[in-house]
Amino acid sequence: MSARDVVITGIGLVSSLGEGTEQHWQQLTSADAEPRIDRERFSPYTIHPLPQLDWGQQIPKRSDQRQMETWQRLGTYSAGLALDDAGMKGDEALCATMDMIVAAGGGERDTTVDTSILQQSQDSSDVDVLLNDRLTTDLRPTLFLAQLSNLLAGNISIVHKVTGSSRTFMGEEGAGVSAISTAAARIRAGQSTHSLVGAAFQTEHPDMLLNYELGGYLHRGDWAPVWNRGDAPGGGVVTGSGGAFLVLESREHAQARGAKIYAVLGRVAAAGASPDEEQMVAMLGELDLPEGPHLAIAGASGANAVTASERSALNKAGLSARGFSTLTGHLKEAQFPFAVALAALAVSHHAAPAPLDEGEAPLAGAVDMAVATSFGYRRFGGVAAVGRA
Amino acid sequence: MTSSVDHLGRPIVAVTGLGVVTSLGVGKADNWAALTAGKSGIHPITRFPTDHLRTTIGGMVDFLPSSGRGTAALTRELAETAAAEAIEQAGIGKTFGGPLFLASPPIEIEWADRFTLYNASEDGDGYARLLAAARSRNDRSLFEASQFGQIADSLSERFGTRGLPVTLSTACASGATAIQLGVEAIRRGECDRALAIGADGSATAEALIRFSLLSALSTNNDTPERASKPFSRDRDGFVLAEGGAALVLESLESARARGAKILGIMQGCGERADDFHRTRSKPDGSPAIAAVKAALDDAGYGIDAIDYVNAHGTSTPENDKMEHLSLSTVFGERIKSIPVSSNKSMIGHTLSAAGAVEAVFSFLTMQNGVLPPTINYDQPDPAIDLDVVPNVKRAADVRAVLSNSFGFGGQNACLVMAREPA
């Protein structure tokens, strides 16, 4: 135990399962939890939609809400939940010295404008000139800001007054891994005392699906658990909308303000390129886990080959996996923060989520250690050890 | 020999390699010659038609093989070209062996590709049709160009960097943030060296239109080379530009141990987010002021240590006013005797690359003992009382430089660089 241990003191979660730690934990430990899916809106793709949210609960000003599209609202909302949970919301001194790393992709484009331009392009002899004409007339300035990757962090600064620092990492799941590992490394080294870190993904927009489907990654069959999509049409990924933010703190900082501590974030191992099964096993080895059996909150995307490798690597490491995407869908940049958050919840409850499909083994005994994983559908990956406070 | 740890006992971070590409050319030699000659790289846009556009000029990099092949391809080539120059200068072999921090623009599927997809299918309309075409074509190169992590992944493979490469955006402060991340990693003792790159090849029609809608761009289309005029009374916006820059950051101890030439010291970094507005700074300038102060504190410097300021100096009415406010608040009366010039008067605003490009130029300023000018400074803004090194370069003995980067979304990042270890 050290004063500079990285502890998790705030968790903000939103997914199709609901919002907040209690709703998520209750769903995940229920033996008969059902996925909430929408198969119609983006057919032939299935998605896990957002639950009903009252944005005003975390973004009180209408004028702020209007400056954002759903992705930024969702991230700002989830960040607010985490700050509330950590007991930091509205504490000006704590927020003004708080560091922030957000993992982000891009925001929503205007589908109406895009669609109209695409249609008109069919009858145009010079599409570039058409583009200039239409974009000049039709684009809204606020939408540009709603699309900018770093403006989720910008909105969190404006709405929640987190201003110690603001960094946005990009790069799909890997961005979430780097965000958490960097925030933790800074705290461990004394470069930071408390940090807000997380991401949101808004899948209910066709452009967000297009980024997967250009590579043929989306699952097109009937809904199936994340581990069991290999034989179905498509690439195995079912996406979901959601957000996950964490408040990370040095143990010393958390104790000094009497904060409740969910768990300790231990080692994080990350990989560039495209880790194969052997590398995954090696990364899990880097966590230096005590004798098991242990729980793994697996961020497997469902992407056929990578997911099969992850399953096998987790088995070899003797880990009992829970592929949470079965219930939430793939949350892209938010996948690793979500996994770490669930691992912290499991550790703080001393219990594992219920098996989410028949291939996941029950785990008896008190959980005092959980591994969080996220291996990207295309590239990069990370694993973390989360232990008892 | 001086110590290899700084005033806080942290490893001193040296710079052993620099590379740069801007509209003025490829490499340090060409860029420095043009920059000190007061030459502008701003020119009429030829990459796409400019009909209907309010701004028809830019500082685009039109001379690379990837110019015109889309944001991802050009950004990658700008990054690769700059990094190759920096790594060669540092004398590091094929395997870099440290982490990569890449500042680059957010990635979107290009319009040209949207049109291609749309024409490739007749199923449905709008995005449903794009999705159907995406399914049936399964075009890997188009897929890769849509992935935010792809450029860094490919650079990591090319240069043999270690671990999961970080791609980041802090808008117009991105380049400085990439450097800061590298400095922090070395100070933590995680690595002996880090590769920090800022690259931006995102000057598309849509990007231009978006900034135009925010009234951020100069519309001085008739005389492009005179459009960017930081600190002038008649400044009317920034000029969108492209570029790339790379810095090999290395612990002083490691650089000395392998006999590398020390090009300078990355002495301190500071940052602060603004909670006032999405595109405007807090009227009292407090976040920018705090970022400058944080960088000086991190460097262990008082205000007397800074000999020159490489300004953010975008040439927008708002930025230059606020930058003056923050500098005059931090430095007081002394600011009148510190030269402050803007590279952007010549190269325009290279967005995600700017902080890195301007850091490279800051080191060249110290090495050569020459201050690059702020060109187009014919009508001084009486409200901005600064020595902007007007129009003509100036010889100066520069031991330390402050470089500012401020961006949309309340991003403020400042770097303090020194010629030699303290």
Reported ipTM: 0.98
* CB interface of B with A, residues 260-279, below 8 Å: 271-279
d(CA B102, CA B175): 8
B207 touches chain A (CB under 8 A): no
Among B51, B278, B411, beta carbon nearest to A132: B51
Residue numbers in B near A151 (CB within 8 A): 278, 408-409
Residue A210 has pLDDT above 80, yes or no: yes
Facing residue for A168 by CB, picked from B128, B170, B277: B170
Interface test with A, best of B76, B127, B191 (most A CBs within 10 A): B127
Is there a contact between B149 and A379 if contact means CB atoms under 8 Å apart? yes
Interface contact A262, partner B, CB < 8 A: no
Chain A contact for B37, CB < 8 A?
no
Cα B178 to Cα A168, A174, A347, B93, B321, distances in angstroms: 11, 16, 35, 22, 26
Nearest CA in chain B to A68: B278
By Cβ distance, the residue of A126, A132, A216 closest to B138 is A216
Task: Answer whether residue A344 shows pLDDT above 80.
Answer: yes
Task: Report pLDDT digits (tens) over A166-197.
Answer: 999 999 999 999 999 999 999 999 999 999 99
CB contacts of A122 in chain B (<8 Å) are 119
Question: Is the confidence at residue A364, as pLDDT, over 90?
Answer: no
Per-residue pLDDT tens digits for B352-393? 999 999 999 999 999 999 999 999 999 999 999 999 999 999
Nearest in space to B231 (alpha carbons), one of B328, B154, B340 = B340
pLDDT digits (tens, 9 = 90+) for B263-317: 999 999 999 999 999 999 999 999 999 999 999 999 999 999 999 999 999 999 9
Say yes or no: B152 contacts chain A, CB-CB below 8 A: yes
Give B165's contacts in chain A (Cβ within 8 Å): 171, 272
Strand, coil or helix: A103: strand
Minimum distance, in Å, between the CA of residue A156 and any CA atom of chain B: 8
Query: Is the bond leading into B421 cis (omega within 30 degrees of zero)?
Result: no
**Is residue B349 annotated as a catalytic residue, yes or no?**
yes
Q: Do B52 and A129 touch (CB under 8 A)?
A: yes
Q: At what angle do helices A127-138 and A111-121 cross, to 10 degrees?
A: 150
Q: Is B172 a catalytic residue?
A: yes
Active site residue B43: no
Q: Write down the pLDDT at residue B123.
A: 82
Specify the pLDDT at position B109: 96
DSSP-derived letter for residue B64 is S
- On the question of pLDDT at A205 being above 70, the answer is yes
| Contact check, Cβ <8 Å, A191/B188 | yes
Handedness of CA B354, B355, B361, B365 (dihedral sign): positive
* A99 neighbors A180 (Cβ within 8 angstroms): no
User: 10 Å Cβ neighbour count for B122?
Assistant: 10
**What's the confidence (pLDDT) of residue A143?**
87
Q: Do B150 and A170 touch (CB under 8 A)?
A: no
Partner residue facing B153 (CB), from A45, A188, A272: A272
Instruction: Retrieve residue B280's tokens.
Output: 């405007």
What is the pTM for the complete model shown? 0.99
Across all residues in chain A, what is the average pLDDT?
97
Using a CB-CB cut-off of 8 Å, the residues of chain B touching A165 are: 271-273
- Count how many Cα atoms sit within 13 Å of the Cα of residue A88 in the half-sphere of its side chain: 33
* Cβ <8 Å between B205 and A207: no
What pLDDT band is residue B1 in, cutting at 50, 70 and 90? low
A189 touches chain B (CB under 8 A): yes
Count CB atoms within 10 A of the CB of residue B339: 20
How many residue pairs from chains A and B have C-beta atoms closer than 8 A?
Answer: 245
Separation of alpha carbons A61 and B273, rounded Å: 20
Mean pLDDT of A117-133: 97
pLDDT in tens, A259-314: 999 999 999 999 999 999 999 999 999 999 998 899 999 999 999 999 999 999 99
Partner residue opposite A272 with nearest CB, options B48, B164, B181:
B164
Alpha carbon distance B327, B323 (integer Å): 6
**Could you write out the DSSP letters of every residue in B325-381?**
HHHHHHHGGGGGGSBEE-THHHH-B-GGGHHHHHHHHHHHHHHHTEEPPB-S-SSB-
Q: Which residues contact A78 (CB under 8 A, 6 or more apart)?
A: A12, A13, A14, A198, A200, A242, A243, A244, A245
Active-site choice (B191, B269, B324, B349): B349
- Give B187-197 pLDDT, tens digit per residue: 999 999 999 99
State the average pLDDT for chain B. Answer: 97
Query: Scanning every residue of chain B, which has its alpha carbon at the shortest distance from the alpha carbon of A234?
Result: B135
Per-residue pLDDT tens over the stretch B101-116: 999 999 999 999 999 9
A106 touches chain B (CB under 8 A): yes
Per annotation, catalytic residue among B172, B191, B269, B414: B172
- The number of angstroms, rounded, from the C-alpha of B369 to the middle of its chain's C-alpha atoms is 22
The predicted structure's pLDDT at residue A142: 87
Interchain contact, A164 vs B273, CB within 8 Å: yes
State how far Cα B327 lies from the chain centre. 20
Contacts of A185 in chain B (CB under 8 A): 185, 188, 190
- Contacts of range A127-133, beta carbons closer than 8 Å, 24 or more positions apart: A127/B111, A127/B115, A128/B48, A128/B49, A128/B205, A129/B49, A129/B51, A129/B52, A131/B111, A131/B205, A131/B206, A132/B48, A132/B49, A132/B50, A132/B51, A132/B52, A132/B53, A132/B205, A132/B209, A133/B51, A133/B52
Show residues of chain B in contact with A141, CB under 8 Å: 210, 213-214
Structural contact between residues B62 and B212, judged by C-beta atoms closer than 8 angstroms = no
Query: Where does the pLDDT of residue A32 fall: very low under 50, low under 70, confident under 90, or very high at 90 and above?
Result: confident
Residues of A in contact with B108 (CB under 8 A): 106, 109
Q: Provide DSSP, B100-155.
A: EEEE-PPP---HHHHHHHHHT--SSSHHHHHHHHHHHH--HHHHHHT-TTHHHHHH
Position B81 pLDDT exceeds 80? yes
Q: For strand B400-407 and strand B308-310, is the pairing parallel, antiparallel, or unpaired?
A: parallel
Q: Is B150 on the interface with A (CB under 8 A)?
A: yes
Nearest neighbour of A170 by CB, restricted to B125, B148, B189: B148
Percentage helix, strand, coil, to 5, in chain B?
35, 20, 40
Rounded Cα gap, residues A376 and A211, in angstroms: 14
